[in-house]
Amino acid sequence: MNPLSRLLAEKRASGATILDLTESNPTSAGFTYPADRILAALADPRSLCYEPAPAGLLAARSAVSGYYGGRVDAARILLTASTSEAYGLLFKLLADPGDEILVPRPSYPLFDFLAALESVRVVEYPLVYRLGIKSAAGAHGGWSIDFDALARKITPRARAIVVVNPNNPTGSYLKKSELAELTDLCRRHNLAILSDEVFSDYALADDPGRVASLVNVDDVLTFSMSGLSKLVGLPQLKLGWIVISGPADVCKQALERLELIADTYLSVGTPVQWAAGPLLALRENMQAQILERVRGNLVYLESQIGRDSPWRVIEPEGGWYAVIQAPRIYSEEEWVLTLLGEHDVLVQPGFFFDFESEAFLVTSLLTASQIFQEGIRRILARAG
Ligand SMILES: Cc1ncc(COP(=O)(O)O)c(C=O)c1O
């Protein structure tokens, strides 16, 4: 247990009401799910039969293909129980024990565990943040990949580069110019790309310079991952997928090997596969609710931080999180412990996501608006 989780357990045991600004479970964030439609989708009588299919049932893969608007043939899709499982399968496919996978920093903390479980080494490459003006031609400021640093991190044991698009928690998308540089680097070093696109439908502003998905990258072996968890706000149903793209012969071989790995587990349940079509059809409804919440909370947060404030919002381009830069009167750890200990507000410290410097606080924009607003009021009142 770390000091924050210890304090949280003590607080909860003492009966304190915590304002949890880290809520990232959509099923407990107060959204209205079309329960009847979800349950009806899961009651398909075809689920009573077991037809093992390593890549997943064609009906489900076709539904995922439909999500991509026909740009992705079902033959290039392999179903998994989740995106986390997809990472595990891909690490097995691409890396031997001791091989290296490059992952962005700051980013989603699960990589270390997922890689360690496959005996693969994680090597971090930096994303850098620049202040700047946004123009119609695309963002000049914001987060970008430090390609010089990334290139320096590539060793003969490197097997793949992970991009999280948009990234958690920075909310930054890959840009078209970056994709060109990335594919060039991967071609030269014979590396695959793993693109985590679970939040790609949650763009918070338009940007023509952005790459929404890597599903049609054709010159480098690329695995684009997503799933119902974020796309429809249904993490409990356990359906994710991998889209494979790249040079035809390499793709064919990768798909055959992935099918062999998936066949060893056959982990995707039959009911959710038959339900994939109707469940994906719910995404418009669920995404509208989620985006309204996320945008509303972000607008509120920005409205509370004036020009002369010692606080700053690191504006996200997409996703469910907002990073707040806090005044350096405390370290990150002191901030999160003070906010929880004295103000009953739970936020995550930047170091959970390996931010390069301090002090950053990470909040989930999925949090119910009343809780979010009261939590933000208490946070900002602590220094200002
Ligand atoms: C960037 C990112 N990738 C993957 C996942 C995991 O998704 P899944 O529920 O499909 O395993 C998460 C969950 O928070 C995430 O933030």
Q: Given this model, what pLDDT does residue 70 score? A: 84
Examine residue 169 and say whether the peptide bond preceding it is cis (omega within 30 degrees of 0).
yes
- 229 C-beta closer than 6 A to ligand 1: yes
d(CA 359, CA 357): 7
Cβ 108 under 6 angstroms from ligand 1: yes
Dig out the tokens for 50 from the structure. 């077991």
Which ligand 1 atom is the nearest neighbour of the CA of 167?
A: 1
Q: What is the pLDDT of residue 60?
A: 98
Q: Which residue's CA lies nearest to atom 1 of ligand 1? A: 168
- Closest ligand 1 atom to the C-alpha of 199? 1
What per-residue confidence (pLDDT) applies to 1? Answer: 85
Rounded Cα gap, residues 244 and 216, in angstroms: 9
CA of 288 to the centre of ligand 1 (A): 20
For ligand 1, is residue 84 a contact (CB within 6 Å)? Answer: yes
Per DSSP, the chain holds a count of helices (H) and strands (E) of 13, 16
Closest CA to 290 of 279, 301, 282: 282
Q: What is the pLDDT of residue 137?
A: 47
- Check if 114 has its Cβ closer than 6 Å to any atom of ligand 1: no
Confidence band (pLDDT; 50, 70, 90) for 133? low
Q: Is the CB of 168 under 6 A from ligand 1?
A: yes
**What is the pTM for the complete model shown?**
0.96
Q: Average pLDDT of 278-287? A: 98
- pLDDT tens, position by position, 181-221: 999 999 999 999 999 999 999 999 899 999 999 999 999 99
Integer CA distances (angstroms), 306 to 69, 312, 355, in order: 42, 9, 24
d(CA 116, CA 314): 31
Ligand 1 center–CA 143 separation, angstroms: 20
pLDDT band with cut points at 50, 70 and 90 for residue 130: confident
Cβ of residue 350 lying under 6 Å from some atom of ligand 1: no
Whether the per-residue pLDDT at 135 is higher than 50: the answer is no
Q: How far is the CA of 83 from the centre of ligand 1 (A)?
A: 6
